[in-house]
Amino acid sequence: MEKSIEVHNLTVSYHSKPVLWDVDFSLPMGKIIGIVGPNGSGKTTMLKTIMGLMKPDSGYTEIFGQPLDKVRSRVSYVPQRESVDWDFPADVMDVVLMGRYRKNNLFRRISKDDKRIATEALEKVNLLEFAHRQISQLSGGQQQRVFIARSLAQQADIYLMDEPFVGVDAATEDAILQLLQEMKNQGKTVVIVHHDLQTANEYFDHIVLLNTRLVAAGPKNEVFTKDLLQEAYGGRLTVLSKLGDLISTEEFPLREPEFKENKPDKE
Amino acid sequence: MDPVFLKVLVGTTLLAASSSVVGAFSYLKGQSLIGDAIAHALLPGVVLAFILGGIRNSSLLIFGALISGLLAHYGIGYIENKTKLKNDTAVSLVLSTFFGFGIMLMSYIQRTGIGQQAGLERFLLGKAAAITMQDIYIFTVLALLLIIGVGLFYKGFQLMTFNEDFAQAIGLPMPLIRCAFTVLTVLAITIGIQTVGVVLMAALLITPSATARVWTNSLPSMLVLTASFAGVAAVLGTYISSALSKMPTGPWVVLVMAFFGFSSLLFAPKRGWFSKQKQANANQRKTIRENVLKLLFQQEEHRGLPIVLSVDEIQRKRVIRLDRLTSALKELKKRLLIIDYGGCYGLTELGRSEGRRVVRLHRLWELYLTERLGMAADHIHPQAETMEHVITPEIEELLVKELGNPEVDPHKSPIPYEED
């Protein structure tokens, strides 16, 4: 089976406090995949590291068997809705068009093609009539759909979404779920960070259970067992978190990043 | 026109308009005070340029300031990344260190006598009157540079201020964009302090953009408005200061800008204080009108036949200030919702339907509160009194659907639907 994302012995820390310890898994292609875990379990950090927004202390990640920089145009990222200021002077179309920005068109004007693609993306999330609405006047669910439209406009093969179901209405939830199925049918891979256990089982085909370290990864019927869920959600891992505090206050180096350099060359 | 005055006018306007456009992005990034910090941090660079090149060497002066400003900017970033200090602490640390060092250099050259005319004053408060023809050429080039820079990097700056993570995720060259932004900001401040000086630089960078933001929701028009506000303020400020003897230009420019800013906050459509007040008043009047219709409808419902009520009778049933009630009745008559039978008022068919709608919303909301939010039936009335005036037809439709076309409210009163 071909792999969409591979994560190799990844350790990442935030303000020199480790939030992911030695996490190692790989994800299949063409599936809807959930990264699931309680609050503060390192889910967002996982996504940000895959997207190159955070530097790992050790380990590395690959997408389609290659480093991110080589496949960037095939990867799309949907940040958490709350991570931006929605009072920014822009309308819905402006934001969706950002999905068409590229390194090689940074200094060029937005093209007709870009506009067409953005319009199609808006249509897919049922927001076409809101194209010229100021973004601060949208509901939470509509803002989430704007972000998803922006990501669709990237026309990627794999989509990484950070908590897209948080604070959205039922209509948006349905719209997103339907969209995910369509994307899957077109052979796209979708990876979603999600904290809610109740819905995780129905949304995803494949699940990564995370709680600072990897609890389990695999098809959902293998991962969604009582024991594993208890392991992921059952209280803090005392030793691990104590050690984490120690490392952050005493300035220990976590591990040398040489691990990445030593990685065998695939070409 | 007086050539000296004309020089000052052109120079000031160019500087204000171009540097404020760069400031717009600092404002949107929520880094309004960075401008102030960097402006102070330019001092050592400026003084060193004096020592090396004398007072009349504008380009060397700008170069010195630029270097000093860039060092300060990267210093702030470095401290933030490498220590646990927060941004505001890092900013004030760098500001005070650079400024202190600058003052020290300044007192040294003043003692030796080279810097007498240059003086701290020009740096602190700006000295537009000293602008020379050579300055004008340099300013024109710099102003063009700023405008072209912002135009060229428009997409990059837009995405950097709105959603930097996304910009990085799609592979935009963030180090280049950040560096361009820093250089343009420092350049804007460097040329800005020539007119208004360090102390007022933050105003030049931020006030025009804050003013423009109130008037528009689109970034391109905000940038154009920012430059226009700054330009007009510069022209007016220059005129005022030249009309009054011995008045400095910079402070006047800033005061005119502040005037624009505060009046915009008060008068702008939608976001302004007055229009919000107006909206609130309109809502209050609507609430009173709807309450009158509701009252008449409930009386009819109670008795089972159309009735009329006098002003006194209405006031006995519901406390409404007389002047407000009178104007509400007048408006209702005009809208053909009630008929005046010589001091007594009755509903028209249109008014009855409107009254029915308000009563329906009230009861639907009460039902929603008890059924969905589990509130006790004796606690829900005040809430519903407000919500009946807020709920839109779309929300009403949702309510009816979610409650499954209910017949009665929690107090067993029927929910009145339109009859057709």
pLDDT of residue A1: 58
The whole-angstrom separation of Cα A197 and Cα A224 is 9
**ipTM score here?**
0.88
Average pLDDT over residues B383-393: 86
- What pLDDT does residue A152 have? 96
A211 and A23 Cβ atoms separated by less than 8 Å: no
Q: Residues near B171 by Cβ (< 8 Å), separated by ≥ 6?
A: A69, A72, A73, A102, A103
Q: Is A107 on the interface with B (CB under 8 A)?
A: yes
Residue to substitute from A50, A78, A101, interface B, most B β-carbons within 10 A: A101
The verdict on A141 touching B (C-beta cutoff 8 Å) is: no
CATH number for the domain whose boundaries are B3-269: 1.10.3470.10
Q: State residue B228 phi and psi, 5-degree precision.
A: -65, -45
Could you give the percent of chain B with pLDDT greater than 70? 95
Residue B1 is predicted with a pLDDT of 66
SS3 B160: helix
Selected residue with higher pLDDT from A186 and B269: A186
Residue B125 in contact with residue B199, Cβ under 8 Å? yes
**pLDDT for residue B56:** 60
User: When comparing pLDDT for B164 and B88, which is higher?
Assistant: B164
Task: Write the residue in B162, B168, B217 that is nearest to A53 by C-beta.
Answer: B168
Predicted confidence at residue A253, as pLDDT, reads 59
Helix residue spans in B126-218 (DSSP H): 133-152, 154-162, 164-169, 174-215
Kindly state the helix (H) or strand (E) to which residue B363 belongs, with its residue range: helix B349-372
Domain residue spans of chain B: 3-269, 272-420
Of A79, A103, A106, the CB nearest to B165: A79
Per the CB < 8 A criterion, the answer to whether B323 and B288 are in contact is no
Q: Give tens-digit pLDDT for B304-361.
A: 888 899 998 998 888 888 899 999 999 999 999 999 998 899 999 999 999 999 999 9
**Residue B244 exposed, middle or buried by CB count within 10 Å (0-12, 13-18, 19+):** exposed
- Above 50 in pLDDT, residue B407? yes
CB pairs under 8 A between A and B: 79
Residues in chain A predicted with pLDDT less than 70, given as ranges, are 1, 235-267
Instruction: Write down the pTM of the prediction.
Output: 0.82
**How far away is chain A from the Cα of B23, in angstroms, using its nearest Cα?**
15
**Partners of residue B166 in chain A, C-beta under 8 Å:** 77, 79, 98, 150
A155 touches chain B (CB under 8 A): no
Q: How far is A230 from chain B (nearest CA, A)?
A: 31
List, in order of start, the domains of chain A with CATH numbers: 3-261 (3.40.50.300)
Strand A3-14 to A17-28 pairing: antiparallel
Contact A90/B173, CB-based, under 8 Å? Answer: no
Among chain B residues, the shortest Cα distance to A97 is held by B155
| Class of the CATH domain delimited by B272-420 | mainly alpha
- Residues 216 to 245 of A: which have CB under 8 A from any B CB? none
B272/A115: higher pLDDT: A115
In this prediction, residue B77 carries a pLDDT of 86
pLDDT one-digit tens code per residue, B73-82: 889 889 988 8
User: CA B62 to CA B48: how far, in whole Å?
Assistant: 11
Residues of B near A (CB-CB distance < 8 A)? 28, 30, 84, 152-153, 155-156, 158-159, 161-163, 165-173, 213, 216-219, 222
The 3-state DSSP class for residue B240 equals: helix
* Nearest-CA distance B174 → chain A (Å): 10
Rounded Cα distance between A21 and A28, Å, is 22
A94 in contact with B, Cβ within 8 Å: yes
Q: Among A63-77, B33-47, B357-371, where is mean pLDDT lowest?
A: B33-47
pLDDT digits (tens, 9 = 90+) for B147-163: 999 999 999 999 999 99
